[in-house]
Each structure stands twice: as structure tokens, then as C-alpha cells.
Amino acid sequence: MSSRPVPLLPPALRAFLVRIPLLVPIVRLLRRGPLARDRNLLITLILLTLAIGVLAARVSMEWFSPALMIPITLVAGLQLRLNSLVKLLCAVAASLIYVAAVRGVDYIGPGLLVTFGFTAVLAALMARTRGKLGVQGLRGDAMLLELRDRLKSQSDLPPLSKEWGSKVVLKQAGGSSFGGDFLVSIREGDTMELALVDVSGKGVDAGTRALLLSGTFGGLLGSVDDFLPACNTYLHRQREAEGFVTAVHLRLNLATGEYVITSAGHPPVVKYESGAGTWRVSTAKGVVLGVVPDLHCEADQGMLRKGDALMLYTDGLIEQPGRDIDAGLDRLLGEAERLVPSGFRDGARNLVTSMSAGHNDDCALILIWRP
């Protein structure tokens, strides 16, 4: 059921304005089309700018400084379209010229002109970016924050029973909120599945693709039997290659402790065996996702007993420029030995901090254990 639009002006006021022929076109212009809000704001800012110029020239430069037009320009950059912003900048220039003509050129110094020029360029860049996105104001930033929050919530492991413990640590390059490492997980009954994915690149450069793939991989997880081959098929269908993607998939039975690990070009999972007191490297391996049409993964099966643990991680923990990756893995296992006496939960973040010191890369670590 459609509703009639609410009139912007009361009927009595509209009837009065109709009797004034000069105001009728102006009222119609303000109410016409979907861009009425942009047009109304533009008119308001232009009138405010011209008023500041007149007051600065005729009344007082101290109370009505031309610098007051700077925040007006910034507001226009956040709210107006680029074409409307250009019209406002013309009004700003006209006001400055008028002040210089009345007060003298000395009142509009080079420093003020440079500030206005910088502000105008910044406002134009903001308006241009918003125009490409098709959003207004700070809505684009709000959408990006919402995507970040969704990615973070998706990286949380599902609740586990008291018989299990888990810890997830994600550290993005440069301290940014987005990165190329992400986690997707799901639990159905006693079966938990998770996938740790590493997109090539680091920081914000890889964050946009990670946002796209996290939704796709999250939808495939738990919906198909062969998770990594399904992900590989999706990536292989993409027409444009945007770097490689590695992933490791874990299917864990929470009732029995049985697990199956499959990997696609990802660093090997390591398992802590409490009986022997050592870390064992998983034999699961496979080709990087999206390279070959048919992916074949060599799975690794086993069982987690009391005191055992599994550690999944990305190459940011073991890869360093100028050093062999095997040396990085040996160092990781040496640092992991210190987790056992102090507990996995408290030492996981310290492990990531220690391993990532000295280089700037995305890092992710997942620990699952049976206390």
C-alpha cells in the first residue's frame, strides 16, 4: 500500500506564496527532483558564505573572519556533490575578492589563501570519492566499519564445551583493521569446521579481497563435503587473477576428538602430543587455491586426546625476508614449547608478538586443545 508524500510546506503558506509570482519558481526549484536536499544545502551554504563575506567587509574582520568559510567548505565536501561543491567554491572566491576589494589586499594574506586552497582540494577529493561510492556524508565510512565488524565477528570460533579450549589471535599489518588473513568457522552438533585463509598481500591492500572471500568461503563451509575443492573451483572461475590464496581446513569431532586436516598451499598445522611431549608437523598438503581446475588434497587424520593441541597459523609467523621458511617453522616450534607450562590460552598472543617482531606482515594463530 503506497502512501502519499508529505508536503514540504503547509497549505496556507503555499497558497500565500502562489500569490507572489517571483517566489513561485524558487519554491518549485527547492521541491523538485531527488536532488532537492543537495540543492537546498548548497543554497544555504552559499548564502552563509556570502553573508560572512559581507559582514567581514562591512562590519568586523575579528567577529566575522573569512576563515569561517573553511569549515563551511569542509561540510560541503562531506555533504555536497562535486558539481555543487564547485559552485560553493565560486561563492567562497567571490566573498574573498569582495573582502579584499573593500578592506584591502593586506587583509587576505598568502597564508589564508594557501589554507583555502588546501581545504578546497581536500573537499573536492572527499566529494569525488563519495560520488563514486554513491553515498552521502560519512555513510561510506560507516559501511566500511560495519564490514570490519562483520569480519571480526565471523572470525570468532563457535562456543565449545568445557572439555575444549580455543584461542584466536589476528594481527594485521600496520595496525590496520583489515588484512589478508581471516577465519571462518561453523559448528553443527558435535562437528566443528573451520578454515584459516591467507590472501596474498598484506594490510589494507589485501583486506578488500579478504572481505569478499570471507563471505564466499563462509557460505561454502559446512554446505559442501569437499570444502577446499569447492573454494578452488570458485577462484578458478574468476576471470582476473588477483594473487594467490592459501587455506587450511579442519573438521573436528568434539565428542571423540577425531579430526581431518586438508591444506591448499598453507603452512603445515602442528599438533602437540602430550604423551610424547613434542610437536608433530601435519602431513596435509595441496596446491594453492585457484591455480589448477581440479584440486587434490592429501588429508591428515588423527585424534586429539587429553592434553593434546592443534595449532593453525599463517605464513606471517614463520616467513621473514632473507630467512628460510623451515628455520621460521623451527623457531615457531621452539617458542611453542613455552606455551605448555604456562597454558595455551595465556601464551598465544605472546607467541604471535614474539614471532612477528621485526617484520610487518599479517599474522594469524588458532589454538584448539583438550585441557
Q: What is the DSSP string of 263-295?
A: EESPPPPEEEETTTTEEEE---B-PPBTSSSS-
Encode pLDDT of 99-152 as tens digits. Answer: 888 887 777 778 888 888 898 888 888 888 777 766 665 666 666 677 667 766
What is the per-residue DSSP string for 122-175? Answer: HHHHHHHHHHHHT--TTHHHHHHHHHHHHHHHHTSPPP--TT-EEEEEEE-GGG
- Do 332 and 317 contact (CB within 8 A), yes or no? yes
Give the Cα-Cα-Cα angle 335, 339, 341 (nearest 5 degrees). Answer: 125
Cα(123)–Cα(128) distance, rounded to whole angstroms?
Answer: 9
Per-residue model confidence (pLDDT) at position 277? 83
Q: Is the pTM of this model over 0.85?
A: no
**Grid coordinates of 173:** 599489518
DSSP E strand stretches across the chain: 165-171, 181-188, 191-199, 245-253, 258-264, 270-273, 278-281, 300-303, 309-313, 363-369
Query: Per mean pLDDT, which range of 18-27, 163-172, 243-252, 255-264 is the poorest?
Result: 18-27
Cα(69)–Cα(48) distance, rounded to whole angstroms?
Answer: 9
Encode pLDDT of 22-53 as tens digits. Answer: 555 555 554 554 456 777 888 888 899 888 88
Per-residue model confidence (pLDDT) at position 5? 47
The two beta strands, 300-303 and 309-313, are unpaired
Encode pLDDT of 252-282 as tens digits. Answer: 999 999 999 999 989 899 998 888 888 899 9
Say which DSSP state 298 is in.
Answer: B
Could you tell me how many residues make up the chain? 371
In this predicted structure, the answer to whether residue 251 has a pLDDT above a threshold of 80 is yes
Per-residue model confidence (pLDDT) at position 60? 80
**Grid coordinates of 232:** 578452488
- Do 118 and 110 contact (CB within 8 A), yes or no? no
Strand order in the sheet with 278-281: 165-171, 363-369, 309-313, 270-273, 278-281
In this predicted structure, the answer to whether residue 363 has a pLDDT above a threshold of 90 is no
